[in-house]
Chains A and B, each alone.
Chain A
Amino acid sequence: MNKLYGNKLAIFIFAFPALLLFTVFVIYPIFPEVLISFQKNDGFRNMGYVGLKNYIDVLKNDTFWRANLNTFVIVLLSTFVALPVSLILALVMDRLSEPIRRFFKASSVLPAVLSVTVIAQMWIAIYEPMWGLLNSILRALGLDSLALAWLADSRTVVPAIAVAFLWQYLGLNALLFYTGIKAIPKTYYEAALIDGAGFIKSSIKITIPLLQDVTKYLLVLSILGCMAQFAHVRIMTAGGPGDISRTVIYHLYYRAFSASDFGQGCAIAILFVIECLVLTFLINKFVAREKIEF
């Protein structure tokens, strides 16, 4: 078997199917997209080459930058709020008794397997300004001034969508963290206990450092998932009010399909690919480069 793994031809044969699919469906489509990004194109006809005009128009457009900012806000909330919350949930889950843990495990997965449409509609109902759950609770608590039109207010619409999106994957991420925790040898905790370390100290000194592989994996998954955020925005606000809650991908979709401007749509797509490549490079450069063996 080892001999087989050392044979480069064998490696190539094994890798070929995946390579083939990746080339046809990922690499190849980028080339016509680059071409269209230099055209005035309505999706059906090339109405002439326009040089860098599409890129200049996109970069000069405030909506593109707002869409980037919105996407960035969602990424930040995911990285600095949702992932830490998932980690805390995992740590708590590890301390629970088995029957309660089983319940938590099942309920953690449930939102992730539900359709985005169901989740989005549920949150639309929660955020509804007149009879929604959130405002009803706020009014019942006498906090009428905080009862807002969450999805129609420019100050709250993006975080409101982000909460719905991040909530959906909070439990699943917690479960993945929990799986990582279970892989850490018990002996480390026993030694820490003898040294007098409590739950918080052993979590900070042992659990979190040893979860760096899982953390990196979830970080990449979460950031790229947030970058590609589309469905929740489409269902919950359609990018509105106006264009205030558009993400980059939604803006791309709007330019290409709603405004029938595939030239600009493709220019946005190319810029987005570059953004994602830079982000992936940064994650690989700065996050958990050394593998810890235990």
Chain B
Amino acid sequence: MNRLSKLIVLAVTIVMLISLFACTAAPSTPDTSKPADTGSSTADKPADQKPAEKVKIKFLSLSSDENRNRIREDYIKVNVGKEFPNVEVEYDLGGGGQDYANKLKAYNASGDMPDVWFSEQNLSTVVIAAGNALDLYPYVKDSDFARKIKMKDLVSPDKDGKLYCVQPGADQYFTPRLWYHKDIFAQNNVEPPKTFDELVSVCETLKSSGIVPMSIVGKDGWTPNLHMVQTMIMAEDPQVAIDLVNNKTDFSNPVVKNALGRIQKLVQVGAFADGVTNIDYGPAMEMFTSNRSAMLAMFTWELGNLESACPDLDFVPWPSASASVDPNNVIQYWGAPLSGYLAAANSKNPEIAAKFAMFCAVQDALYYNIEQKAPTMYDTGIEIEGVSPLMQKNLDQFDAAEIKVPSMWAATFNAKMSAEFATENSKLLTGQYSPDDWISVINPVWAENFD
């Protein structure tokens, strides 16, 4: 070996050894016990010593849906100065859907989390498992926030004595509805469907009139992911959905296969727009509000926006697929214990991060109480007046329903299950993918979901 080669080999070896030591050094493991050790007095010290110095925190939020944008822009940004005069917030806009999920996962993989962020249950579990979420319980337990939460489960610690998420308790009232334009229905002489067969018939009539029957968010299988698969299961037998949530059955259950078959049927009769697998949240909403589609499958979190955009708006509970199921008696609700605001375990200012998370949850509640006239489990002290007839109809049906089932997606799925579920549902929306194939892929993933 000549001298140059020896030099190069030596240099490469040294560089690799240095890299190896540098990269394999024990990372500063986030200390989840930190908040418990950090009493408020010690946490307050820096603020006491340097009252004028602004503390910087980073806040990651969803930026693809109107509600999240308005909460951030019209409430959090407006009120943060009064609540936290010495805090400067950097707003990190994370998009929505899988984009948001992947951004949060990338932060999680790096261990360098934003101080506070919003996430759904399936993402929260990933961050918590990595030890990157702050235990909020020491900050929440004696707080004004905890006192004003009506559902005490939302501020109670888990079996390990930890509380990782704070939320306004608005999610528990969100449920998927089948929204429709009364005018379009009247023009086409169709009645709101009560059964699945009627729904198919309505879709066929509207399709033959050149109207897109139903607008859904098809990209990444969003609508089937978040509710339609479960909705179709509950349309035939709500108990199967309850059993799935409690891991007492799997997706080979015949009711699941029938449910998937019903979605396939809707695709095949042309219930959805052409190219539905590539339609994102915004375009799906716009399709309905611009009267290009007669119906919209969407959660009630859009009720306020839809009411202001569509004067002829109404809804029906999702049609049943069995004579034994009364659609008015079953509700699928969105809320999950880990859907809300979390704070980073390695935040330089854990107390401020925890308080900011609670502040965000309060702003959520204010937004829903004031703008949407929607109730929350957090008592803002605002009397919700002038509730629209449609919101009242929604709340009345919600309260009257005897069977209330949490969302599988929000409350049960881990990250892998969510990803595979999304892929398979996207395939299902092509209309050329069989329920059997869907089940053969999902069931093995489901078997590992609770590991």
Contact = CB atoms under 8 A, between A and B. Distances in A.
Nearest to B451: A47
A259 B416 contact: yes
A242 B430 contact: yes
A152 B274 contact: yes
Contacts, number: 126
Contacts of B52: none
A199 interface: no
A238 B19 contact: no
Interface in A100-117: none
A254 interface: yes
Given A12-B7, A257-B106, A242 B426 contact: yes
Contacts of B388: none
Given A32-B23, A154-B430, A257-B105, A240 B277 contact: yes
Contacts of A243: 423, 427
A152 B427 CA distance: 10
Interface stretch (B9-17, B166-174, B312-320): B9-17
Contacts of B102: 253, 257-258
B419 interface: yes
A11 interface: yes
A237 B278 contact: yes
B105 A260 contact: yes
Contacts of A129: 273-275
B276 A152 contact: yes
A240 B278 contact: yes
Contacts of A151: 275, 278
A130 B286 CA distance: 14
Nearest to A153: B275
A16 B19 contact: no
Taking chain B's interface residues, is the majority helix, strand, or loop, or is none over half, making it mixed? Answer: helix
Nearest to A63: B423
A170 B136 CA distance: 54
Interface string B68-108: 00000000000000000000000000000010011001101
Contacts of A43: 105, 108-109, 130
B25 interface: no
B275 A152 contact: yes
Contacts of B276: 152
Contacts of B2: 8
Interface string B388-421: 0000000000000000000000000011100110
Given A43-B109, A257-B105, A259-B420, A238 B8 contact: no
A45 B415 CA distance: 15
A51 interface: no
B109 to A, nearest CB: 5
B260 to A, nearest CB: 14
A198 interface: no
Interface in B1-47: 2-4, 7-8, 11-12, 15-16, 19-20, 23
A280 interface: no
Interface string A149-188: 1111110000000000000000000000000000000000
A56 to B, nearest CB: 15
Nearest to A7: B4
A15 B8 CA distance: 9
A140 interface: no
A20 interface: yes
Interface stretch (A22-30, A83-91, A281-289): A22-30
13 contacts: A12-B11, A23-B16, A24-B15, A43-B108, A45-B129, A150-B275, A241-B278, A241-B427, A243-B427, A254-B419, A258-B101, A259-B419, A259-B420
Interface of B: 2-4, 7-8, 11-12, 15-16, 19-20, 23, 98, 101-102, 105-106, 108-109, 126, 129-131, 218-220, 273-278, 414-416, 419-420, 422-424, 426-427, 429-430, 432-433
